[in-house]
Amino acid sequence: MTNRSKALTYGLCTVLIWSTVATAFKIALKHLDPLQLLLCANVVSIGALFAILAAQGKLRTLRMPNREILRAAILGVLNPFLYYAVLFKAYALLPAQEAQPINFTWAITLSLLSVPLLGQRLSLREFIAILVSYLGVLTISTHGELTGLHFSSMSGVALALASTIIWALYWIYNTRSKGDPVAGLLLNFLFGLPCVLAATLIFSELPSLTWRAALGASYVGIFEMGVSFALWLTALKYAAGPDGGGTARVANLIFLAPFLSLVFIHFIVGEEIRLSTIAGLAFIIAGNALMQTASRKR
């Protein structure tokens, strides 16, 4: 296989996994509360990421300078602890067809936060992209009744939007890390685990795992928090290599994920997909695409 074929294969595998996670969240949350799900998935993800590093022969990359280890510990509070605690709660309050597209606006949030945190400026095209994306959020969360502003769960929408802020902050500060990205993610999850455990003991309780709960949490931990990250990095590596076609070609595959996700949500979770969800998602995708072309032009 050529580098371009490898990049496309790994990229499509990643997109397929991302398309299933919203469904996996809703199924797992039927058997576990958000903190219990996070605790179980966190433990599983640590094993998955360790296995990936071992398979790649990169366990030595866990030996980092103290400064990098401290950075990983601080970032572990953002991801997995705060990010997934907020995201899972949003999924518990909202239908999956609403929570998933709203969470997809994290790239727009990243651009907004880059202004105060990185000193970047927004072009007119980027500003329009932001407005288009958040029009999509409003369309989805109000079920298309834009003037009425009646939300199925205002708290759920607020949490879904808050998760995009946490995720964007994580990636902004993570760009300064100089270590192996998979090793860094493993350290994030290791340092985040005590926070997750403490929050579970204080605000919930240790779960009594049924096989359904264990299976759901394991799927989230292995695929959402572990394998997909490694596959995406591999896709980008091949895309950036000789005859890889460039990373932009692979990055565009991400736009397939939310639409495929609606298919799984409908047939597995059983949600009737609203026209307002499809319309709102189209606005969000359009905003993301416009932001991407504006950033590339810059």
**Mean pLDDT in residue range 21-33:** 96
Local confidence band at 298 (pLDDT 50, 70, 90 cut-offs): low
Model confidence at 241, in pLDDT bands (50, 70, 90)? confident
pLDDT in tens, 146-177: 766 677 788 999 999 999 999 999 988 888 88
279 secondary structure, DSSP code:
H
Q: What is the pLDDT of residue 250?
A: 81
Enter the tokens of residue 158. Answer: 């607020």
Instruction: Please give the pLDDT value at position 1.
Output: 74
Q: Where do the structural domains in the chain lie, given as residue ranges?
A: 3-297
297 pLDDT above the threshold of 70: no
Nearest by Cα to 267 from 12, 21, 13, 23: 23
Short-list 213, 177, 158, CA closest to 76: 177
pLDDT interval class at 144 (50, 70, 90)? confident
Distances in whole angstroms, Cα of residue 47 to Cα of each of 44, 51, 83, 222: 5, 6, 20, 8
DSSP-derived secondary structure for 192-233: HHHHHHHHHHHHS------HHHHHHHHHIIIIIIIIHHHHHH
Which of the pair, 65 or 241, is modelled with greater confidence?
65
Query: Residue 74 has what pLDDT?
Result: 95
Mean predicted confidence (pLDDT) in 189-202: 97
Angle of helix 124-141 relative to helix 106-118, nearest 10 degrees, comes to: 140
Q: Which two tokens stand for residue 51?
A: 């296995």
Q: Averaged over 235-244, what is the pLDDT?
A: 82
The predicted pLDDT at position 296 comes to 64
State residue 149's pLDDT score.
Answer: 63
Q: Is the pLDDT of residue 205 over 70?
A: yes
Given the structure tokens 């946490």, which residue do they identify? 166
The string of pLDDT tens digits covering residues 266-292 is: 999 999 999 999 999 999 999 988 887
Higher pLDDT, 236 or 218: 218
Confidence of residue 25 (pLDDT cuts 50, 70, 90): very high
pLDDT greater than 80 at residue 211 = yes
Integer CA distances (angstroms), 110 to 129, 146, 163, 205, in order: 13, 25, 12, 34
- Overall average pLDDT of the 179-204 stretch: 95
pLDDT at 139: 92
- Contact at 8 Å (CB) between 229 and 185? yes
Mean pLDDT of the chain: 91
Flag whether pLDDT at 293 surpasses 80: no
Distance between CA 74 and CA 170 in Å, rounded?
A: 10
Q: What share of the chain is helix, strand, coil (3-state, %, to 5)?
A: 80, 0, 20
Closest CA to 154 of 88, 84, 98: 98
Ranking 33-47, 227-241, 253-267, 272-286 by mean pLDDT, the lowest is: 227-241
Burial 184-215 (b: 16+ CB within 10 A, else e): bbbbbbbbbbebbbebbeeeeeebebeeebbe
Q: Give the integer Cα–Cα distance in Å for 160 and 25.
A: 13
